Each structure stands twice: as C-alpha cells, then as structure tokens.
Amino acid sequence: MAGLHQVEIVSVNVGLPTLLGQYHGKDVISGIHKRPITDLAVRVTADGLEGDGQADLRVHGDKLKKVYAYPSEHYLEWANVLDRQLHPGIFGENFTVKGITEADVNPGDRWTIGGVILEVTKPRTPCYKLDVHLGPGTAKLMQQNGRCGWYLRVVRGGIVSLGSNVPVIITRGLSIAELFAEKRRTSHEVPGPS
C-alpha cells in the first residue's frame, strides 16, 4: 500500500572483510561480521557506509546492494532458534531497524535520513557464509522463514545519525516478502562458493 511509514534506525553497523572460518576445507573471507558503530553518525557515500566493506564484489556490494537493512523484530525468534544472544549487526546488516518488516517494504521505497536518500532494491539471498558465521543450517532456515532483510541503493549520500526516525515513502507493488517467497519457490539451493 502506498503511503508514508516511520522507521527507527536502532543501530548502524559496519565491518571490513575478515576470515570467518572454513567451508569444505577452504578459508572463507567475508564482510558479514558487523558491529555497531560508537560514533553518533556515519557518512554514507555512493560506495556505502564509511568503514564498511565486502569481500566478494562479484556478488556483494554492487550499486543495488550498498546498504543492508534488517528488522529488529526478528531478533527474538532468531535468538530462540539459534539458542544464543544476538547483537545488532549479527546478520551482516548495516541498519538494524524497528517498525517495518519484509511484508511492509517494496522495491522502489525511498528512505530519507537527513540529506541521505536510499532506495529499497531487493531481498537478501542467504548464502553459505551465513552458515559459517552463525552455524550450519542458518541460511536454509532464513530461506524457509523469509526473515531475509533487504538491500538499498544510495541515491544521495550524506550523514546518518544514530537513532534516526526515518520517513519512508512506501510504493505499490510486490513486497520484499512476496519477492523472497517467489524466489524461494523457484530455487531451493543455498548459494555456495564458486
């Protein structure tokens, strides 16, 4: 449904590529390990958030996937399923958000944060690195439960402040949840290394 929605940025998280562990005997380097920033603000550029990075630019960090958002509403269920405490950024997200989930978000939605403008592009497709990071089977669980989060592209850069309340212009069309469900119906494999 088109309209205006308020989203709270609970945490802004960044991290650079690091060794996660091994997968089938091969070292796995990834930028999935994110931690909340301690500064009050972070710069967003055409390349994404300052201090953030991805290991494999063939599949991560293209212009449609510069910022990754994940709903804090999913954390309690994940903590129960994974039987562990979770911190903001644990799923590799740059923005841990509150007040919106995949069912409320559509590609084309515009987020205005001060002078920064971001646009929702697509759902996150979990890969084997999520298993290395959080334990075997996590990527498959994300595929099944649809709690995938979504990517945004940078339309205009600037400064994002912690605790920002973000007015989001909601567009009409298939939601991120619907797009993810459709993708799940057509592909049942967790992407692995090439």
Q: How far apart are CA 56 and CA 148, in angstroms?
A: 19
SS (H, E, C) the chain: CCEEEEEEEEEEEECCCEEEEEECCEEEEECCCCEECCCCEEEEECCEECCCCCCCCCCCCCCCCCEEEEEHHHHHHHHHHHCCCCCCCCCCCCEEEECCCHHHCCCCCEEEECCEEEEEEEECCCCHHHHHHHCCCHHHHHHHHCCCCEEEEEEECEEEECCCEEEEEECCCCCHHHHHHHHHHHCCCCCCCC
CATH entry 2.40.33.20 includes domain 3-186 = yes
Paired with 9 in beta bridges are 97
Contacts for 169 with CB less than 8 Å, ≥ 6 apart? 3, 4, 109, 110, 112
How high is the pLDDT of residue 84?
94
How high is the pLDDT of residue 191?
60
Structure tokens at 141: 């669980």
pLDDT averages per 10-residue partition of the chain, 194 residues: 78 94 93 90 93 82 92 97 95 95 95 92 94 95 96 95 78 91 76 54
Give the residue extent of every domain in the chain.
3-186
How high is the pLDDT of residue 2?
62
Strand order through the sheet with 41-45: 48-49, 41-45, 158-161
How high is the pLDDT of residue 69?
97
How high is the pLDDT of residue 194?
41
